[in-house]
Amino acid sequence: MKKLLLALLMMAATAAAHADSFVKGADIGWLQQMEATGYQFRNKQGGEQDLLQILKDHGINTVRLRTWVNPSDDKASGHNSKDETVAMAVRAQKMGMRVMINFHYSDSWADPQQQRKPAAWAKHDFPQLLNDVYLHTHDVMSALKAAGVTPEWVQVGNETRTGMMYPEGHTDNWPQLAQLFNQGYDAVKAVSPTSKVILHLDRGNDNAWFRTWFDNATANGARYDVIGLSYYPYWLDGRPDYTLSIDDLANNLNDMVARYGKQVMVVEVGGEDSKPQNTYEMLMAVQRKVRAVPGGLGLGVIYWEPQGARSWSHYELSAWGEDGRPTKAMDAFLDSL
């Protein structure tokens, strides 16, 4: 009887520890621009309040910050420089939040449709590009360290389904792509050995693609600690209803853990701002699936720009209303077990 009781207590303690460490995150790369242009964030009660406090009051414990090399000052497609990233990381840490850094290795957006090299690197040959990646990563990580911030996670590349820094880092040339990833990995670990490096793909429900990609990453010696996934039912071909793809997401999460022995995290998710109840239900389902990954290897879920209100960003997948307040969708981070 005593052994059974002890086992139950240990299981409860493990579950509680996992619950406390489960990532409930927000990518807030637009925040500084929104504040600079006078956008007023309001809490549930309608009072004007610091966004980070509003997020924290909704259960958010982690921020994700994209980092560009030499960005412009464009309102929607600029900023996110090294100095701005450090300032936001310090601000989040002071709020008791955990930090993820997301290196795009570009001067602006990087995703499967656009993986442009920074303008300053455009004419560099491949050996120079390897050095560029290492030095830039090391520089940003060192600035964070000097400011007293140790990111728990660092992404080397963003949604790199077809590679990064085209054409040299395209998946058409996996040996070179793996070298670029490893330069980022080595630079992160040189400054911050405890930070976990993430490799990140979109379409987190597509197991066949993930297997092909990570099989190639493994065969070419790419080094990483965590598999990051994006999951946007809205963008899936003819399948905007999350109930049609949520089980595929779960199966892929479980398969990644079993096949590669890595932790997994949904580092981007989003739903329609005009359907907050549906987005709430989707977020609840995604969190349940990540929590159910065996061995506690499902780390958490991060909403991409929940505060990026359509009235400011023209982005339809935020979790913010026209009244400047969080929608019902954000309650999912409070209501999930």
| Most distant CA pair in the chain, distance | 71
Out of 159, 168, 281, 305, pick the active-site residue: 159
Residue 322 annotated among the catalytic residues of the structure: no
Neighbours of 179 (CB within 10 A): 20
- Sign (positive or negative) of CA dihedral 44, 49, 51, 52: negative
CATH number at residue 307: 3.20.20.80
Annotate 135-192 with DSSP letters as a single string.
HHHHHHHHHHHHTT---SEEEESSS-TTBSSTTTTBGGGHHHHHHHHHHHHHHHHHH-
Strand spans (E) along 42-168: 62-67, 98-103, 153-156
Asked if the structure places residue 87 within a domain, the reply is: yes
Asked if the structure places residue 11 within a domain, the reply is: no
Asked if the structure places residue 44 within a domain, the reply is: yes
Cα–Cα separations (whole angstroms), residue 201 to 116, 239, 268: 17, 19, 10
Out of 168, 268, 281, 305, pick the active-site residue: 268
Asked if the structure places residue 9 within a domain, the reply is: no
pLDDT tens digit sequence for 167-180: 999 999 999 999 99
Query: What is the extent of the structural domain holding 287?
Result: 24-335
Residue 268 annotated among the catalytic residues of the structure: yes
pLDDT tens digit sequence for 80-135: 999 999 999 999 999 999 999 999 999 999 998 899 999 999 999 999 999 999 99
Tell whether the model's pLDDT for residue 9 goes beyond 90: no
pLDDT tens digit sequence for 328-337: 999 999 998 7
Number of compact structural domains in the chain: 1
